[in-house]
Amino acid sequence: MITVTAYVIVAAVLFIIGALGVLISRNLIVMFMSVELMLNAANLCLIAFSRALNVMDGHAIVFLVLTVAAAEVAVGLGMVINLYRNKETINIDRYNLLKW
C-alpha cells in the first residue's frame, strides 16, 4: 500500500532533478524550466500532506504557488527576451558582466 512517504520521495526526486538542472544546464530557458520543476515538487508535497491530514489547506496554498509561478514566468521570460536582444545568445556562461 502506498504511504505518504512514497509521494514525498517522488517530490524529493523531482526537486533534485530541478536543482541539478539549474546547476548543470547551460541553456537559459532550460534553467528557467528547472526552477518551475522545483516549484512543482513543493506543490506535490503540499498535496500529499493535505491528503494525509485530511485538511484542504494545502490545496489553497498550491493555488497561491501556481499564481506566483505564473507571474514569475511572465516577468522572467520578458527578461530572457531582453537578455537575448543584448547578447544574441542563450548560453548562460556568456552573461558574465557582473563576474569579478
Partner 1 sequence: MNLDTIIFIVSALVAVSGATMMISLRNPVLSVMSMILSLVAQAVLYIQLGALFVGAVLIIVYSGAIMVLFLFVIMLLNLRGSEDLGRQSSPIKMSTKILFSLMLFVEFVFVIKVGFFKGDIPLGVMSQTTDNFGSVESVAELLFTNYLYPFELTSVLLLSAIVGAVVMSKRDAAETKTDESAVAVKDSDSKEQVVES
Q: How far is the CB of 90 from partner 1 (least distance, A)?
A: 6
Give CA–CA dist 48/84, Å, rounded.
39
Short-list 99, 95, 72, CA closest to 83 = 95
The residues in 34-53 that bind partner 1, with binding defined as CB under 8 A, are 34, 36-37, 40, 43-44, 47-48, 50-52
Q: Which of 64/98 has CB closer to partner 1?
A: 64
Other beta carbons less than 10 A from residue 36's beta carbon: 15
87 is a contact residue toward partner 1 (CB under 8 A): no
* Of positions 19, 35, 42, 95, contacts partner 1 by CB under 8 A: 19
Residues 55-84 that bind partner 1 (CB under 8 A): 56-57, 59-64, 66-75, 77-82, 84
At 32, list the grid cell.
528557467
| Identity at 85, one-letter amino acid code | R
